Chain A
Amino acid sequence: MSAGIDLENVCCDFGSFRAVDNANVSIRPGEFFSFLGPSGCGKTTILRMISGFIDPTQGAIRIGGKDMKGQRPNQRPTALIFQNLALFPLMPIWENISFGLEVRGVDKATRRAKAEELLRLVDLPGAADKMVSQLSGGQKQRVAIARALAVEPQVMLLDEPLSALDLKLRQHMRAELRAIQKRTGVTFIYITHDQGEALAMSDRVGVMSHGRIQQIADPREIYNNPVNGFVASFVGENNIFTGDVGQVADGIASFATPHGTFRARLGEQATGKGVKLFVRPEHTIISAAQPAENAIHGRVEEVSFEGNFIAVHAVTDTGMKMTAELRNDGSSDVPEVGAQVWMGFAAARAAILPDAETRG
């Protein structure tokens, strides 16, 4: 069983501070949805409103079509996984997992069996009688997931649950979480400030800033087609040009900057003042020969080897710093430091976007 969640014009004020501003989103049943944003953007507040710990100041939250107004957290079909996991240290693992069943009056033998079953599901068999303190970070993570799944929630809410783990484990748990979500079919709402996590795991991502949802789209769309400068910068690196939009034809606009006039895709919301041109470093070409379009001449300042890619930092003749990322597969010549080079980018791969985030 999984349920969809609808947020309709949801606002949340803390005193005079508006933590969440007019959030509208429909999360589909069985979807893996992430809220992505920097700390203080209101994503945790959204999660706590869905789980029932905070009441929205305005607007409605519906789970499975049912208005949740006045429903306490213990009456909602949601299960929350806390950032610090909040396992119960005084109970053995199986009691932790079956706590939700215990409060529902399930008898001990059934609880124990269910706990064992869930421990197998999260790949942690044999841990039933251990104490929380005896487990490693990743194992605690799995117990927290099992504990939440035990109450058979229609919606799982995850508040940055991987942030305390080391990189390797985090990447492993990403895949694990995704697999568990697919297996159980439960709607997952995932909160994170790690764009890699959000892009890798989610069906759709909602990027947030200053209490507002900036863009809701699938990960590719978010990365390849951000609606504004905030989204573009938050989910990746960019070479950014300031300038003015000129003539537009077939969605491609000319863009006059102090470094030359370029051609790039014109974003939907890029109207009027305060627009900038965003090019991803991996879409920036660097070569000795002058590229056909959007060419800029410069000099290589630094080459840094990052393992899977090589970052070339250059300064244009007009004094702007640019970065190009080359794949470390031998397909491209890596220029020497001090070399005179041409840089460029395809018009379709660059976007003219409003610089600022969308505000109320």
Chain B
Amino acid sequence: MQDLIRRYGAGLTAIICLLVFFWLAILVVVPNITLFESSFRPYLPVTEIGGPKDVYSLDNYLKVFSGQVEVSPLGFTFLIPVHVLTFFLTIWYSVVVTFLCFLIAYPMAYYMAKVAKPSSVPTLLLLIFVPLWVSEVLRAFAWWIILAFKGPLNSLLLALGLIDAPVRWITGYDAVVIGLIYTYVLFMLFPVYNAVSSLDTNQIEAAEDLGAPWWKIHWRIVLPHAKPGVASGSVMVFMLSAGSLLVPSILGSTTSQWFTQTINQWFNDALDWNTASAYAFILLFLCTVFVALAMWAFKVKLSDIAK
């Protein structure tokens, strides 16, 4: 603080601090606290707000358990509350997206950090960045067109003779997963790229010199070194995927439902902000718990990610 004042003067420092405070308090903390508080109150007509029925309860949270649906994964048939099912599917497909993002980003990151000529890396980065200049909505719609039943992807594959009949891509969660990977893969790429770049190339050469085949070099030397980067990329991709509304809304099929869509339905269709808030906090809380468990399982420390 002393340092800030000395460097920028008291006036500018005060303005900076006030702006940061406004950002954090007014735009983040207060709305969240408001929603959190309202998530414990029933959805009431305006006239009854503040009346005898307006009491705190967990009713909104318990609504996730209402409405059973029958599922039969792996031959077992059982009943599960529909919103709980949506939640688990959201988590599961977010994990799939995260894993696939890693599979795509790791070779790219390794290539850029250790194989490509340093002079060509800025060009590669630019090529990767250019699609980001297009709005997320447009990119999702672009994928919707690409993946359409009579769209370019099917035409291409048919023309190449790789498939005999058009594939229905936008079915189940397939298109959602593809769209989410496209949208969030860079959040995996950059942390992994940074982590791999910081690895001393001599270590890779030393491993090779000692006789290690390429996969062993990656498994024992590069991946362990890049683990913090992979972890921070995974947390970002997972959280962003689980919290994405746009991509599942546009690329979702009749048989897909993302938990954020359920939240959105409570907000915008049912206009029940109280239940919607409760659902939003369920998602936030359980995702955080899930990430914490995953970090514990993979022996990643919070300080590793912050690097």
Task: Name A's B-contacting residues (CB within 8 A).
Answer: 51-53, 72-75, 78-80, 82-84, 86-88, 90-91, 99-100, 102-104, 147-148, 150-151
Cβ contact of A74, chosen from B202, B203, B211, B220, cutoff 8 A:
B211
Q: How far is the CB of B98 from chain A (nearest CB, A)?
A: 23
The reply to whether the CB of B205 lies closer than 8 angstroms to some CB of chain A is yes
How far is B202's CA from A147's CA once the two chains are assembled, in angstroms?
Answer: 14
For A52, A74, A82, A104, the residue with the greatest tally of chain B CB atoms inside 10 Å of its CB is A74
A–B pairs, 18, beta carbons within 8 Å: A51-B209, A53-B205, A78-B209, A86-B203, A86-B205, A86-B206, A88-B221, A90-B224, A91-B220, A99-B207, A99-B212, A100-B210, A100-B211, A103-B207, A103-B210, A147-B210, A150-B210, A151-B211
**Contact status A88-B208, CB under 8 Å:** no
Q: How far is the CB of A99 from chain B (nearest CB, A)?
A: 5
Q: How far is the CB of B198 from chain A (nearest CB, A)?
A: 12
Apart from A74-B212, A80-B209, A150-B210, 9 more pairs, CB < 8 Å:
A73-B205, A73-B209, A74-B213, A75-B211, A84-B202, A87-B206, A88-B220, A102-B220, A103-B216
Q: How far is the CB of B92 from chain A (nearest CB, A)?
A: 31
Cβ contact of B200, chosen from A51, A75, A79, A86, cutoff 8 A:
A86
Q: For B208, list chain A residues within 8 Å (CB).
A: 72-74
How far is B168's CA from A286's CA once the two chains are assembled, in angstroms?
Answer: 98
How far is B212's CA from A75's CA once the two chains are assembled, in angstroms?
Answer: 9
Cβ contact of A103, chosen from B202, B203, B212, B224, cutoff 8 A:
B212
Q: Is the interface of B mostly helix, strand, loop or mixed?
A: helix
Cβ contact of A79, chosen from B202, B203, B209, B221, cutoff 8 A:
B209
Per-residue CB proximity of B53-78 to A under 8 Å, as 1/0? 00000000000000000000000000
Q: For A90, list chain B residues within 8 Å (CB).
A: 224-225
Name which residue of chain B comes closest to A78, CB basis: B209
How far is B203's CA from A147's CA once the two chains are assembled, in angstroms?
Answer: 13
How far is B221's CA from A102's CA once the two chains are assembled, in angstroms?
Answer: 13
Q: For B202, list chain A residues within 8 Å (CB).
A: 82-84, 86
4 interchain residue pairs of minimum CB distance: A86-B202, A100-B210, A86-B206, A103-B212
Task: Name B's A-contacting residues (CB within 8 A).
Answer: 200, 202-203, 205-213, 216, 220-221, 224-225
Q: For A91, list chain B residues within 8 Å (CB).
A: 220
**Contact status A82-B205, CB under 8 Å:** yes
Name which residue of chain A comes closest to B207, CB basis: A99
**Contact status A99-B209, CB under 8 Å:** no
Q: For A82, list chain B residues within 8 Å (CB).
A: 202, 205-206
Q: For B213, list chain A residues within 8 Å (CB).
A: 74, 103
Q: For B206, list chain A residues within 8 Å (CB).
A: 80, 82, 86-88
Q: How far is the CB of B298 from chain A (nearest CB, A)?
A: 14
Q: For B221, list chain A residues within 8 Å (CB).
A: 88
**Contact status A99-B210, CB under 8 Å:** yes
Q: For B207, list chain A residues within 8 Å (CB).
A: 88, 99, 103
Q: How far is the CB of B239 from chain A (nearest CB, A)?
A: 27
Name which residue of chain B comes closest to A103, CB basis: B212
Q: For A100, list chain B residues within 8 Å (CB).
A: 210-212
Q: For A72, list chain B residues within 8 Å (CB).
A: 208
How far is B272's CA from A326's CA once the two chains are assembled, in angstroms?
Answer: 99
Q: For A74, list chain B residues within 8 Å (CB).
A: 208-213
Q: For A104, list chain B residues within 8 Å (CB).
A: 211
Name which residue of chain A comes closest to B221, CB basis: A88
How far is B209's CA from A84's CA once the two chains are assembled, in angstroms?
Answer: 15
How far is B207's CA from A79's CA once the two chains are assembled, in angstroms?
Answer: 10
How far is B206's CA from A260's CA once the two chains are assembled, in angstroms?
Answer: 57
* Given the contacts A74-B211, A78-B209, A90-B224, A84 and B200 also touching, CB distance less than 8 Å: yes
Name which residue of chain B comes closest to A99, CB basis: B210
How far is B200's CA from A134's CA once the two chains are assembled, in angstroms?
Answer: 19
Name which residue of chain B comes closest to A98, CB basis: B210
Q: How far is the CB of A154 from chain B (nearest CB, A)?
A: 13
Q: For B216, list chain A residues within 8 Å (CB).
A: 103
Q: For B211, list chain A residues within 8 Å (CB).
A: 74-75, 100, 103-104, 151
How far is B205's CA from A79's CA once the two chains are assembled, in angstroms?
Answer: 11
Name which residue of chain B comes closest to A82, CB basis: B202
Name which residue of chain A comes closest to B205, CB basis: A53
Q: How far is the CB of B90 from chain A (nearest CB, A)?
A: 34
Q: How far is the CB of A50 from chain B (nearest CB, A)?
A: 11
How far is B210's CA from A78's CA once the two chains are assembled, in angstroms?
Answer: 8
Q: How far is the CB of A163 from chain B (nearest CB, A)?
A: 14
Q: How far is the CB of B156 from chain A (nearest CB, A)?
A: 38
Name which residue of chain B comes closest to A147, CB basis: B210
How far is B212's CA from A78's CA once the two chains are assembled, in angstroms?
Answer: 13
* Given the contacts A53-B205, A73-B205, A86-B203, A79 and B224 also touching, CB distance less than 8 Å: no
Name which residue of chain B comes closest to A91, CB basis: B220
Q: For A84, list chain B residues within 8 Å (CB).
A: 200, 202
How far is B210's CA from A74's CA once the two chains are assembled, in angstroms?
Answer: 6
Cβ contact of B210, chosen from A52, A53, A83, A151, cutoff 8 A:
A151
Q: For B205, list chain A residues within 8 Å (CB).
A: 53, 73, 80, 82, 86
Q: How far is the CB of A133 from chain B (nearest CB, A)?
A: 14
Name which residue of chain A comes closest to B204, CB basis: A86
How far is B202's CA from A274's CA once the two chains are assembled, in angstroms?
Answer: 43
Q: How far is the CB of A49 from chain B (nearest CB, A)?
A: 13
Q: For A75, list chain B residues within 8 Å (CB).
A: 211
Q: How far is the CB of A164 from chain B (nearest CB, A)?
A: 13
**Contact status B203-A99, CB under 8 Å:** no
Q: For A102, list chain B residues within 8 Å (CB).
A: 220
Q: How far is the CB of A54 from chain B (nearest CB, A)?
A: 11
For A86, A87, A102, A147, the residue with the greatest tally of chain B CB atoms inside 10 Å of its CB is A86
Q: For B209, list chain A residues within 8 Å (CB).
A: 51-53, 73-74, 78-80
For A51, A52, A103, A147, the residue with the greatest tally of chain B CB atoms inside 10 Å of its CB is A103
Q: For A103, list chain B residues within 8 Å (CB).
A: 207, 210-213, 216
Q: For A150, list chain B residues within 8 Å (CB).
A: 210
How far is B208's CA from A260's CA once the two chains are assembled, in angstroms?
Answer: 60
